[in-house]
Amino acid sequence: MTTLRDSCAEVARALHTRGWVANHDGNVTCRADGGRFLASPTAVSKRLITAASLLTVDEDGRRVAGDGKPFSEIGLHLTVYKNRPDVRAVVHAHPPAATAIACAGGRQLERPFLAEAVVSLGPSIPTVPFAPPGPDACAALAPFCAGADAVLLGNHGVLAWGGDLEQAYLRLELVEHLAKIALEAERAGGIRPLPESALAPLLDARRKAGLGGAAAGPARPVVACAPAPHADVATIAPGRPKEPELAEIIREELLRALRP
């Protein structure tokens, strides 16, 4: 049976196999139980990552289990998790084409030119302005988390996230694929973005598919007597809630269940 640790390590090794990282570049995290995260360790080639070598870190990025040290960019991952409760995995790498565009200002990916990519990633792949590693870089990233599922990091690389490791990895893959197409399109005469009239139905399809921060919305309370210990959901506090509040929650949940 494949475990979360196995999947996280597999994604880390895939980054090396695809040529998206070199040396000790790149990092992978995913949500675990109890407000903890699995994380690839620093100063280790991604080709050598195994399930046993992953660290467990807390919500402040401090190591609570495992050998080695957390990577220095852990704050970027935690910034995404704090701003996107729906996100369960974050992947960072330096795929050559997308990183080249990130180092050139990101213009080629600012406006969408493939319909499928709009549904998968949203209206654009924004470029987060370069900032020194640490709090400044986290502050620069934070405003982009809600509206994007992948970003270029100025003069740095690509950061992608998703509801699980596979989705985060595939979004990173798509960014690099789009970057290659964009660079070829410029050589072929220039990129022609999609017409503005095409965006609204594509974004509506994205919303209906439950993709993106806007679709996820804020965390909603659930009516439950005893949620599972590992459940990552908000619950109504013990004691009897006000009847109108309870009635409203139940009504909304029923409406959601009945929607086609």
Which among 51, 52, 55, 58 has a CA at the least distance from the CA of 66? 55
Token pair of 80 as six digits: 């995404």
Residue type, 175: V
> What is the DSSP secondary structure assignment for residue 155, as one 8-state letter?
T
- Listed in sequence order, the DSSP H helices in 2-141 are 4-17, 74-83, 96-103, 115-121, 135-141
Reference 28, options 194, 127, 18, 13; nearest CA is 13
Q: Judging by beta carbons within 10 Å of its beta carbon (0-12, 13-18, 19+), is residue 130 exposed, middle or buried?
A: middle
3-state secondary structure of 153: strand
Range list of H helices, 156-212? 165-187, 196-208
Candidate list 73, 166, 176, 245, residue with the active-site label: 73
Distance CA 156, CA 201 (A): 33
253 is catalytic: no
Provide the annotated active-site residues: 73
